[in-house]
Amino acid sequence: MKALLHTLLCTLVVLAAGWATQSCTHNGGDVSPWWGTWHVESVEAQGKPVTTIAGDFFFQFQGEVVRLSWRNDRYDSAESYGNWSEGQGTITMRFVNPDAQPLALPGLGATTTFTIEHKSHQRIVLSTVAQGASYRYTLKKVV
């Protein structure tokens, strides 16, 4: 009985160690502060809040893929997919599929480079200039 318990305990330890080493295998397990779902809490144009945005927008980052999704109070929804990359103090999003242009979010085009003003695991502030106007996005971590 003692040998059976010892064998069972050793098996569980080996299984737990195997699970832990296989759970996050990219970038040494670092999923970065970008990973997850981010709610677009506010958008400013020329320093003033944009109040014409209907519904909620979300950015989701995983690997090199970014998903921009939208939903409203009636649970209507839409989404766009693209690629993203982080540079020295910048993040660039590319929505290059001609059949799936990015959703209509002020200041966001097929390719947009944002300056990262603030980045933490809970809040990100991005700014860009598009069509001659400056835009500022505040993103809040949801998941």
- Average pLDDT, consecutive stretches of 10 residues, N- to C-terminus, the chain (143 residues): 70 56 50 86 96 92 91 90 94 82 82 95 95 96 91
The CATH number that applies at residue 100 is: 2.40.128.280
**Strand pairing partners for 58?**
39, 69
Q: What is the pTM of this model?
A: 0.75
Q: What domain range includes position 137?
A: 30-141
* Residue type at 41 in one-letter notation: E
Whether 122 is in a domain gets the answer yes
Which residues have a Cβ under 8 Å from the Cβ of 103 and sit 6 or more positions away?
A: 57, 68, 69, 70, 78, 79, 80
Query: What pLDDT shows up at residue 15?
Result: 58
Whether 65 is in a domain gets the answer yes
Query: What pLDDT shows up at residue 8?
Result: 67
* Residue type at 38 in one-letter notation: W
Query: What pLDDT shows up at residue 30?
Result: 52
Query: What pLDDT shows up at residue 11?
Result: 67
Query: What pLDDT shows up at residue 17?
Result: 52
Query: What pLDDT shows up at residue 14?
Result: 60
Whether 68 is in a domain gets the answer yes
Distance from C-alpha of 83 to C-alpha of 60, rounded to nearest angstrom: 11
Whether 7 is in a domain gets the answer no
Whether 3 is in a domain gets the answer no
Query: What pLDDT shows up at residue 98?
Result: 64
Tally: H helices and E strands in the chain: 1, 9
Whether 4 is in a domain gets the answer no
Tokens 């064998």: give the residue: 7
Whether 16 is in a domain gets the answer no
- Work out how many domains the chain is built from and give that number: 1
Whether 34 is in a domain gets the answer yes
